[in-house]
Structure 1
Amino acid sequence: MPPANQLEVWISTESKNPGPDSYGHKYILKDGYLNVTIPISKGNYDGVYVGVYAPKLSDNYLNDYYFEIGASSKGFVHQTPIENGLFFDDTDNNNALLRTFSTSIEQPLYYTYFVESTRVNGISMSSCAYKENGWSTNVTYTRSEKYGKYQTSIFLNNLKNGTKYSALVTEESTDGIKTFTPVNFQTQSQSNCVIIKNLEFCDGVFYSVPKTVSKNTEAELAIGYDNLAKSYFNNFTLTIDQYPCNDTESKYSLIRNCNDCKEAYKNWICAITIPRCASEDSNNGKLRDRPRIKISDQSMNINQPYMELAPCVDLCYNLTRSCPASFGFRCPDSKIISTYGDAGSCNSLGMDVSFKSNAAIRIRSSSQWIILIIIFEFIILIMGI
């Protein structure tokens, strides 16, 4: 490909052939994109004329330029790219997960284009570059609502392993075309983790997990991990169902109830039972080669090293706040070896950890977790499991 020299755009309300040899105002695209507002005063004029000129390249280069022009008296047809509207979430060696948020109840009409990053060097803001050089197939959209925000998960599959990509997402509506600032990501070079989704019980899980001894496909891992977490949760419900949840005189909290406790425990147990892989070059990951908890199903044992993104410590804090104190749940102290992660660098399954709690900040350097051995032993002893 030639160097990504930018196209020139000449605009005039007087000359019908605006350009370097004629009258007009010159504008130069930046990263393959340009938005211009032209003030038009009342009076006699024939219209607005636009000239597009390619930069001078080597005489040996022969190829085509592609561009789109949108004009309107009501607003930008191609609106200024939305900053912080598209987020890269996760990847394995063949798939990637992006997310975008909106306040609209209606599902927006999204189009996703992804391309190897080298093919859009210097023109990363150009939708034409993605449409002409990239792919828009092998894309799945999943809509969900969380904390009053509507989230769309964008799943890209059949990617090359260990490859750098750029992805562009556009949103089309009657108001025009909105473009999100592109995101860059790299697929993993190793195949020890895979993104799983559509879990029946741990329905908040949509991320890459380590492969196990005998389960390697996405479907096998999703079922195996989901059943494992559900078995722990079922044991816990046998305990909490014996608690007088509906007895107003025995109410343990004015703002929390047993349903809150179950939800908090579900999020916590799913996060610690289903480990989340971190990217190979992540500063937030920790190298592991085994599960954090004892697993009776040998087929679910992890038998190869992987980088783990630890569960958020807020999952533990929420559990202790939501359940009866008599259950004995407690959060980590400096004597526990295994660690949680802090907001922004952890697995926040089922929780909004966009802020850092004071407690999390206080123990940031030594925040650690506990598997709540006391309650598990209590369940095993009482229930005979």
Structure 2
Amino acid sequence: MQCPKLTPLQSRLLASAIATSILIVIWISFQPHNFVYAAELPLHDPLEHATLEDAAPHPGLGERLIGVEVVRDGDDGNAEVEQGYAPDFAYFDRSMIGRQEEVEELQDNDRKDNVALAPGSTHNFKIGNSGRQVKREDLGSEVHSPLDERRTRNGSELGHERESKDSSDSDEAQELKKRQGNRRTIFISVNTCRQPTAEDADDTSGAGQLALWVSTSPNNKKPGPGANADLATEKTFERGYVSLNVSTESEVYIGIAAPSLPDGKTGDYSFQIAVSDNQYYHNLNRTAYLYFVDSDSDSALFITNNFTDNNASLPEYYTWLDMQSPFTMYAFDEDTWSKGMLGLEFSNCGLQEQFSKMNNISVERNMTVRYGMDGPKALLNVEGLTAGKTYKGFLVANGNTSTGTLALPGQEVLSGGNRLYSGFEFQTKADDTCQVIFDLEFCTDIAYAVPSSERFKTNTSGLAALYDGWAKEYFQDFNKSLAQVACNTTASAMYSLARGCPECREDYKSWLCSVLMPRCHAFSDTREGLIERNINSPFSDGTFPYANNLTAEFNATFRNRMAFNQSRNKKIDEVIQPGPYKELLPCDELCFGLVRSCPAQLGFACPNEPAMSLSYGVRDKNTRSMDFHLTCNFPGAITTLDTFKGVAGRLGIQLRTMFLVAGVTGVLLLV
């Protein structure tokens, strides 16, 4: 067949088309064939959660196979898990096809997070490393991370910086940047808020403790039991509390792991976690930091140690007094404590959660300079207790904006979060014969239980006003007598060069308030140093003490003795009618001090034996200054607390600092 004859123009077009086709074939033959690939994946357990896991890199390409499980709705309405593949595109961002599963991110801003946790499981968190301000205590400034700096510059600026870096940065500036870097210290603290409980009501054993796992390695982003344990630090909770600080330049990965549920336990865990870049959010102080004032049948009074010195010129002195008390208390009786509380002694949120369920107990909180050393302190009155019970108590301080710049003695600034103190034990009195009074207008340092009765059980303020009013009346009569003495005169005419009328007034007031308001204990109290009062009066149930002992010897030596058959102050028996009770006698130093301070013409004198032993007690001279109990009463007297659960030792306070120099007043009320 004869080929058609082409025109010159057609010939040129054909030649161009052929040449173009040949070039396209050559270009295609030199291009890579694997722009995208697909690979079969290994089978997965269909019971596992759908996750994205990194697989081995593809040989020579630096790419990763991504194993996935695809969850679809089956014909029967149930979810079906299919195995498949996920393509990894060399030139596309991961966000186009899905990302690896992320763990929960925490913010290091003192924000607490509460999380429930099933037994045998692990909950993971991470603390990011970008977009953050890092506090630099060593440099006195805040430094942005390098990632933040890069995000705020455009491309031309970055290019210019790279070109001029070597010439513009001095050795000193390079060293400073090296020191700053992105390293920061992260403070991690966790409390167990809830734990499994025993199915058997008689089982008082605690559940297993949680564990904290921390990693800074990108190869262990989910630390926990069995997950690259050599790349993580493990720390077991201690009685519901754990803390750990990490200094790092990288992201921090955290795991909270719960043990498997032991036999006889049911329920799950709950915990509270917080991170900070300056101090722990949850703090633990292994002292009670609290002193026991006294208790009655349904309340107990406590004070903390002083927050500052007794110096009203200090600016923080009034700052403490003017604020709402940051301290509160938790209290649990023996029955409540035995039901699932063991193992939470160091957990603020655990104790708080249990305490919030006990609606009958309340805590009144105030700031004061009274009672003992005259510095600012917190006073806590716990009400709604049960008579004759032993309680476990816990003091806690909650930080707020007012406490942000204030530090307790020997402790860090309580700027936020909370500080829990070690537990202690205290007891309530067995009956309503005694009642705690405090915050009196005249006898300002009286804070303890005084003789009372059921008629004043719900009228504490009325009982306090009654006692305080009696003291004011006696003091007015005393002032009239003291006014007859020449107090402001020449040294040669003064009754004493060592003491004067101001000291006499002060010592008389201290003595008067102590003897007019006996420190009361239940009649069943067996501790040493107590004397029985009002034994010829009936108990609240109508019975009498020693009703079966009517011998002449007993009557002569005990029943008919004034010291035993009535109260120290007759007004107590006439108006209050407390029934039988026991009294902690006032200290003999009150009597001796009064006689030394006041003029002889007033006629004050301490009784002789045996009346002296029935009217005054003697302070234990062998008591160590840091471990003591009361053997006699004086204004501002407090006692120490017994700690428990293995916390060694007791708290105490030097007796000299607690005793307000007191004098004593005359024969008027000495017995």
What is the rounded CA distance, in whole Å, between the counterparts of 1:82 and 1:70 in structure 2? 21
> Which one is further off, 165-174 or 90-99?
165-174
Match of 2:519, as an amino acid? R
* Root mean square deviation, CA, Å: 3.3
8 Å CA contact 1:342–1:356 kept in 2: the answer is: no
Alpha carbons of structure 1 residues 281 and 118: separation in structure 2 relative to 1, 3 Å: farther
Q: List gaps (5 residues or longer) in structure 1.
A: 361-369, 378-385
Match of 2:233 among 25, 28, 31: 25
Deviates more, 1:204-213 or 1:122-131: 204-213
Q: Deviations over 1:87-145 (max 9, x none)?
A: 22221111111211221522342233323333533322221221111148622123221
Q: Quick check: 1:189 aligned with 2:413?
A: no
Structure showing greater radius of gyration is 2
Structure 2 match to 1:115: 332
1:144 paired residue among 357, 361, 368: 368
Pick aligned residue for 1:78 from 278, 282, 285: 282
CA distance in 1, matches of 2:244, 2:447: 40
C-alpha separation in 1, matches of 2:396 and 2:511? 35
Q: Equivalent residue for 1:267?
A: 510
- Take 1:126 and 1:320, find their aligned partners in 2: how far apart are those partners? 53
Partner in structure 2 of residue 323 of structure 1: 598
Asked whether the equivalents of residues 170 and 178 of structure 1 are also in contact (C-alpha less than 8 Å), the reply is yes
Contact 1:287 1:305 in 2 (8 A): no
Supply the AA of the counterpart residue of 2:419: K
For the Cα contact (< 8 Å) 2:328–2:380, is it kept in 1? no
| Within-5 A mapping of 1:32-43 | 32-38=240-246, 40-41=247-248, 43=249
Distance in structure 2 (CA, Å) of the matches to 1:82 and 1:300: 46
Kindly indicate whether residue 330 of structure 2 is the aligned counterpart of residue 125 of structure 1.
no
Alpha-carbon separation, structure 1, partners of 2:669 and 2:531: 26
Partners of 1:259 and 1:70 lie apart in 2 by: 56
Unaligned 5+ runs, structure 2: 1-196, 199-204, 309-315, 405-414, 535-565, 621-628, 640-652
Q: Which residue of 371, 393, 398 maps to 1:167?
A: 393
**Partners of 2:270 and 2:326 in 1: CA distance:** 24
> Residues 531 and 585 of structure 2 are in contact (CA less than 8 Å); yes or no, is this contact kept in structure 1?
no
Q: Is 1:50 aligned to residue 254 of structure 2?
A: yes
Q: Which residue is equivalent to 1:337?
A: 613
| Contact 1:115-1:130 at 8 Å conserved across structures | no
Give the conservation status (yes or no) of the 8 Å contact 1:211–1:302.
yes
2:460 partner amino acid: E
TM-score scaled by structure 1? 0.81
Query: Aligned partners of 1:126 and 1:352: how far apart in 2?
Result: 28
Amino acid at match of 2:469: N
SS in 1 for 2:511: helix
Instruction: Describe the SS at the equivalent of 1:337.
Output: helix
Deviates more, 1:276-285 or 1:216-225: 276-285
Correspondence 1:238 to 2:472: no
Candidates 456, 469, 484, aligned match of 1:227: 469
**In structure 2, how many angstroms separate the alpha carbons of the residues matched to 1:242 and 1:212?**
40
1:213, CA displacement in angstroms?
9.3
Residues 182, 190 of structure 1: alpha-carbon distance in 2 compared, 3 angstrom cutoff: same
Distance 1:143 1:356, change over 3 A: closer
**Cα deviation code 1:306-333 (max 9, x no counterpart):** 2322223333343234323554544566
Structure 1 residues 304 and 148: CA distance shift in structure 2, 3 A: closer
SS at match of 1:234: helix
Equivalent residue number for residue 288 of structure 1: 532
CA distance in 2, matches of 1:150, 1:313: 29
- 1:207 aligned to 421, 440, 448, which one? 448
Report what 2:580 is aligned to: 305
Distance 1:297 1:75 in 2: 54
Question: Hey, what does 1:9 align to over in structure 2?
Answer: 212
Residue 383 (structure 1) aligns with: none
User: Does the CA-based 8 Å contact 2:288-2:423 persist in structure 1?
Assistant: no
Structure 1 distance, partners of 2:266, 2:479, is 70
Q: 2:489 and 2:390 mapped to 1: Cα distance?
A: 57
Q: Residue 82 of structure 1: CA displacement?
A: 5.3
CA distance in 1, matches of 2:256, 2:354: 21
The offset of 1:156, in angstroms, is: 1.2
Q: Is the 8 A contact 2:328 2:363 kept in 1?
A: no
The answer on 1:156 being equivalent to 2:399 is no
Distance 1:248 1:34, change over 3 A: farther
Match of 2:298 in 1: 94
Q: Is the 8 A contact 2:511 2:665 kept in 1?
A: no
Alpha-carbon distance between aligned partners in 1 of 2:450 and 2:427, rounded to the nearest angstrom: 17
Cα offset for 1:243?
A: 1.1
Are the aligned partners of 1:8 and 1:54 in contact in 2 as well (CA < 8 Å)? yes
Instruction: Indicate the SS of the match to 1:19.
Output: coil
* Identity score, percent: 29
Cα offset, 1:272, TM superposition: 0.9
Name the CA distance, whole Å, in 1 between partners of 2:607 and 2:276: 59
Q: CA–CA distance in 1 between the matches of 2:271 and 2:591? A: 52
Q: 1:87 to 1:50 in 2, by over 3 A?
A: farther
Q: Distance in 1 between matches of 2:498 and 2:268?
A: 65
Q: Which amino acid aligns with 1:295?
A: K
Distance 1:256 1:74, change over 3 A: farther
Deviates more, 1:242-251 or 1:329-338: 329-338
Q: Report how many residues are paired.
A: 362
TM superposition score normalised by structure 2? 0.49
Change beyond 3 A, Cα 1:190–1:351: closer
How far does the alpha carbon of each residue in 1:239-284 deviate from its partner, in whole angstroms, 9 at most, with x for none? 1111111223333445543222112111111111111124655634
The structure-2 alpha-carbon separation of the partners of 1:6 and 1:164, relative to structure 1 and needing over 3 Å to count, comes to: farther
Checking the alignment, whether the CA contact within 8 Å between 1:285 and 1:307 is kept in structure 2 is no
Distance 1:16-1:320 versus aligned 2 partners, 3 A rule:
farther
Amino acid at match of 1:226: D
For residue 66 of structure 1, give the secondary structure of its aligned residue in structure 2: strand
